[in-house]
Structure formats: C-alpha cells, structure tokens
Amino acid sequence: MNKNSVLHERKTRKVSQNPFIQTIHTADPSAHVWDDGRMYIYASRDMDPPRGCDLMDHYHVYSSEDLVNWRDEGEILWSGDVEWGRPEGGFMWAPDCAYRNGKYYFYFPHPSDTRWNDSWKVGVAVSDHPAKDFKSIGYIEGLGGDCMIDPCVFVDDDDKVYMYYGGGGMCLGGEMNDDMVSMKEEMHWMTGLEDFHEATWVFKRNDWYYLTYSDNHPENNRLLYAMSKNPLGPWEYKGVYLEPTGCDTSHGSVVNFKGDWYALYHCCDISHRGNLRSICIDPIVFNEDGTMQTVVQSRNGRLPVVPAPAPARRIEIYTAKDASLEGSVHPEEEGQSIFGSVLRGFDTPDSSVTFFGVEGFEGGRVNIGFYYAARRVPAPLAKLRLFVNDQELTLLNFPWTGSVSNFTGYANITVNLNPGAVNTIKLAADSGELSLEAISAEPLD
C-alpha cells in the first residue's frame, strides 16, 4: 500500500464522532442537503482565544456524504466582506442558506452600526456554488432592529419562500419575493409559541410544518418546537426536543438525509467553555402523529450511512524532510510511521515547524490535513497556531488520541493558496503535547 493510501485510510473514519467538527470551534449549525446529495453545514464560528460573542466574525461551511467523514469547505464570508456592516466587525451570528433560481443565497445577521444591539440587519451573499465564491450584495430592506437575529429561510413545496427571524421574545415570519432578497409582505408574529428566545428554524415533514427555537430556561437553553398545517402558523406548541447540552445557549436545525432525519446542535464538550462551542449531529425520531421524540445526545459510535469516500485523485504529502524546525521540535524515529520519523516537541513558546513548497495546485481552496498523535495532559486539547504564507490565520485544536505515539488523529482546514508548489505552512506551539506525522494538501477547486 502506498503512502497516499495509508494516509487516506487513517483519515477515513469508520464510525462517527460528536462533536464532529473539532479543528476549530463552531456553533449554530444550519444544515441543508443540496442536489449533489451531500449534507452542507453553514456554521458560525467562536474565535479562540475567546472574549465573547462580539468576536464571532467568520462563517465556515462543512460537507459530508456519509455523516462520518467531514470536510472543511473553508471560510465563505467574514465581516470585512460586508460593506454596510459595523465598522468594528464582529457579531456575525447564526446564518442560513437557501437555493433557488440556480443560485445559493446566504443569510446572516450583522449590525450596521457601532451600537450593535439595535442596528441588526439581515445580510445576503450570493454564489453559484454551495460552499465558495459568495459575494455580499447588501441586506433585506425593512428587516432588522433591536435583537432581531438568526434568520431562517424556508422554501416550500409550492416554491413559495418564507423568512423567519427573531430574538428577545419576538418571533416573526413572512413571505419573500421571488428575487430572494426582498419581502412580499410585512413580517408578522408567529403565534402559539411558548417561551420563545431565539434560534428559529423551520422545516416540513409530510404535511406538517415545524418551527423549532431556543427557550429561556434559567440554567441552559433548551430547544423547543411547535407544529402547524400552515408555514406561517398559527402554531401549536409541542414541547422540548433537545435538552440542554452544557452551553448557556442552544441553537439547532433539523434535516432529512437519505431518508432519515437528523438534529444538528452545538455543545462545549471539547473546550468546557460556553463561548468555545462545537457542533454535533444525532438522529431524531418522529412518532406516528408527527411529534418528535427527545433527541438522545450521543458522543461517538454511530455507523456511517453510506460507504466511506474514495481516496483523493491527487494529494500531496509533506513530512519532516520537507520542514524547517525551530525550538524544541525535533524528528524522532517512530516504528509505526510509514515515513521513518515523526515530529515531536512543541514544548516551548518558540517551537514551530514550517513546511516549504506546499502545492497550491491551480490556486484557491486547498484542504490541509494534519496527521497527529496527542495526549490529554497537561492540557485537555493540544493547540497549534497556523500560519499560511507568513500570515497567522487561526488557532487549531488537536483532540487527544490516547498518547503521543498513537497516530490516529486527523484534523483538516481549508485555506486559500497560491498556484504551484510555492506556499508555506507553519505550525507554532501554543499549548498541549502532540506529535506530528505528516500534513497533506488536497485541492477542492
């Protein structure tokens, strides 16, 4: 078996994990299945190290064809792309996406003024693709204001489109125009909901419409739901479908994938901090009368629903021989590695490894994979700072694998690279203890 096949086998999971996105911290998952059959997750991002929700400033997309192996499709929008947005940035909270007219419409809440809490608007970005090339085109006139966040757009079977959003105890909905960027009618109250807080999500199953949302539970939010025969209600409250996950907040979506229904939500199991969240997925069961059973929150172990993806057509691998080492990072012979040696260390603040000549292929989105081993002590997570072409991008998580010799860990993130084998990838010490076997580069475009 060649090295590419070995690394593909190591990164391909046989069973699921929860949280299923671990490399960076994500929240507020909006799940959709488009015509290519993949599930796409549009998520907000908790920035690490955290200060609060005011730092949430970027949106990533993830996709999977088996709900076990997930690919970071990369960042699709940040506050710097929003020409009308708050000058200081931040405050990019729960988004949604809809497909119509051959285009993907991405909706996101964002303030337009330094006084953020009463200047919310619903922004729109558009693309011909589900996970790249989104361009901000403005905001929906007439929507927004004090606490009005968490847009959800639902396209019904008759091709009518509805917008929902809300916060601070108020949930509104209304029909949109065919252009997907303006309202056909004024928004009005969604009646029949009990203890509404935020996080509106609407979906349809059989001839029932469902509106799910977060409540004001005094300790940690729960997710509740209501049902109706009409997309704009009136709604009949039905109860709790997701108990608290350990976070102060709760936000979720419900989607059908290959005939089965799934609940998406976030927790803080990785960080144990409510402002560093991670997204999860679990099956959801419906009763004969259409009501939902309470989700059983799992952590690992479900089988894939389709076979694992085939190996990439082209993937480039980089090891210790392609790197420059600084500080305490050093190569060490490792009998279990197909590369002869692995990189150990990252023990001091000045420790780093830089890979030179990383292939950017034709340029654009390249998924960078990390093959590693990490142990839980002295920190619950190993963390490294990622630099791409000398620019620091983000802090990466490397969850424990049992020991620094158990190379079963795989993390991935998509970044934009220059064409050709001219790029540098640098990983610098932050915290924790890990060993690095290799990194890989795989083109997405």
User: 272 and 336 share a domain?
Assistant: no
Element (H, E) at 411: strand 409-417
| 238 in Cβ contact with 260 (< 8 Å) | no
User: 162 and 30 share a domain?
Assistant: yes
pLDDT in 10s for each residue of the chain, 445 residues: 577 777 777 778 878 889 999 999 999 999 999 999 999 999 999 999 887 788 899 999 999 999 999 999 999 999 999 999 999 999 999 999 999 989 999 999 999 999 998 899 999 999 999 999 999 999 999 999 998 999 999 999 999 999 999 998 999 999 999 999 999 999 999 999 999 999 999 999 999 999 999 999 988 999 999 999 999 999 999 999 999 999 989 999 999 999 999 999 999 998 888 889 999 999 999 999 999 999 999 987 676 766 666 666 688 999 988 999 999 999 988 766 788 789 998 888 899 999 999 999 999 999 999 999 998 776 678 999 999 999 999 999 999 888 888 888 999 999 999 999 999 999 999 998 899 999 999 999 8
Residue 194 falls within a domain, yes or no?
yes
Query: Which residue's entry shows tokens 């197909």?
Result: 338
Which two tokens mark 253?
């979506």
- The identity of residue 102, as a single letter, is G
Residue 148 falls within a domain, yes or no?
yes
Q: Give the CATH number of the domain where residue 326 resides.
A: 2.60.120.260
Question: Strand pairing partners for 75?
Answer: 60
pLDDT, residue 352, reads: 96
- The identity of residue 402, as a single letter, is G
| 150 in Cβ contact with 198 (< 8 Å) | yes
Three-class secondary structure of residue 381 per DSSP: coil
Q: Write out the residue range of the structural domain in which residue 346 sits.
A: 316-443
Residue 232 falls within a domain, yes or no?
yes
Q: Which of 236, 260, 283 is the last residue of a domain?
A: 283
CA dihedral in degrees (170, 171, 174, 176; nearest 10)? 110
pLDDT, residue 308, reads: 60
Beta strands in 94-197, from DSSP E residues, in sequence order: 96-100, 103-111, 120-127, 135-139, 149-155, 161-167, 170-175, 188-189
User: 137 and 49 share a domain?
Assistant: yes
User: 159 and 248 share a domain?
Assistant: yes
Number of domains within the chain: 2
Burial class (CB in 10 A: 0-12, 13-18, 19+), 314: exposed
Residue 4 falls within a domain, yes or no?
no
User: 265 and 335 share a domain?
Assistant: no
Query: Distance between CA 344 and CA 346 in Å, rounded?
Result: 7
